[in-house]
């Protein structure tokens, strides 16, 4: 039977490719303040960007929630979270790359796409922390395991080197970038020591390398267990905008057309 849905909507060209809803900010009688994760982080990011005069409400895209009937178009009732929607409904998408730079191993999407050769997974994470899912690691095509307290220089070199190799091995139609901020120094759950400037540079590096190959990129902001991560995410978005890497009509940017190289070429 023909399925009708309200899930899709026309997005005017005046709107930015930033998807946000106030419903993303979770509250429960104040108990959310006791959790290490800042459940209002995304609202803070948007407010910072408004204060900087970069955005207004009319420029944002608010996603519509999929109904159960929508999900059953592509999923069985038994296993709704086995996500294959991207390839079946988006024209021109046959190969995807996940660049997961959250401090934790991304075992969820790794298990989901375990035997799907259309999806190339690169995962950079602290080898000593949760989840340590050995089975899920079999799905990782480019695995970078980090030690406790890894700092900016080592981290950025490894990220750049491995993204370059990943894109050479599997040039995708789209990149999904998990831009976790739990790599920030002082994050007790992430266990790494990346500075705020290092996070901003990391995001810039990823966007330059992907956009330089004319590949669309979707960035999601995930882990980050300190209150200051919202400001860092906002600063990163402002930096990407200032460099012309994001925006309503931002062109594809050459990975090498910056005034300065991504990283010093002499770094081994």
Contact 187, 231 (CB under 8 A): no
pLDDT tens digit sequence for 21-66: 988 887 776 766 766 678 788 899 999 999 999 999 999 998 887 8
Q: Average per-residue pLDDT in the chain?
A: 86
> Look-up: residue for tokens 């990391």?
202
How many whole angstroms separate alpha carbon 58 and alpha carbon 66? 22
Checking if the pLDDT of 12 tops 60, the result is yes
CA angle, 99 then 114 then 73, to 5°: 95
SS3 content of the chain, % helix, strand, coil (to 5): 35, 10, 55
In CATH, 83-243 is 3.40.50.2300: no
Query: What three-state secondary structure class fits 198?
Result: helix
Query: What three-state secondary structure class fits 179?
Result: coil
Residue 251 has what pLDDT? Answer: 53
pLDDT tens digit sequence for 132-180: 999 999 999 999 999 999 999 999 999 999 999 999 999 999 999 999 9
Q: Are strands 119-126 and 96-100 parallel, antiparallel or unpaired?
A: parallel
- Domain positions in the chain: 83-243
Query: Which parts of the chain are beta strand (E)?
Result: 96-100, 119-126, 142-146, 174-178, 217-220
């Amino acid at each position: 039977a023909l399925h009708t849905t309200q899930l899709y909507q026309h997005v005017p060209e005046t709107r930015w490719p930033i998807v946000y809803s106030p419903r993303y900010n979770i509250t429960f009688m104040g108990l959310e303040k006791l959790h290490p994760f800042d459940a209002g982080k995304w609202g803070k990011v948007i407010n910072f960007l408004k204060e900087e005069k970069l955005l207004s409400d009319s420029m944002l895209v608010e996603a519509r929630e999929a109904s159960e009937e929508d999900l059953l178009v592509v999923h069985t009732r038994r296993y709704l979270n086995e996500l294959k929607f991207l390839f079946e409904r988006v024209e021109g998408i046959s190969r995807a790359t996940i660049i997961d730079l959250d401090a934790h191993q991304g075992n969820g999407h790794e298990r989901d796409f375990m035997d799907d050769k259309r999806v190339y997974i690169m995962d950079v994470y602290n080898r000593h922390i949760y989840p340590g899912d050995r089975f899920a690691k079999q799905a990782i095509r480019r695995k970078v395991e980090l030690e406790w307290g890894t700092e900016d220089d080592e981290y950025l070199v490894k990220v750049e080197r491995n993204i370059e190799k990943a894109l050479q091995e599997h040039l995708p139609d789209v990149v999904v970038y998990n831009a976790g901020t739990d790599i920030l120094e002082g994050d007790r759950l992430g266990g790494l020591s990346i500075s705020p400037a290092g996070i901003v540079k990391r995001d810039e590096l990823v966007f330059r390398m992907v956009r330089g190959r004319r590949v669309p990129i979707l960035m999601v902001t995930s882990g980050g267990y300190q209150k200051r991560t919202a400001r860092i995410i906002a600063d990163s978005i402002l930096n990407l905008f200032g460099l012309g890497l994001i925006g309503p009509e931002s062109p594809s940017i050459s990975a090498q057309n910056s005034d300065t190289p991504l990283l010093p070429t002499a770094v081994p």
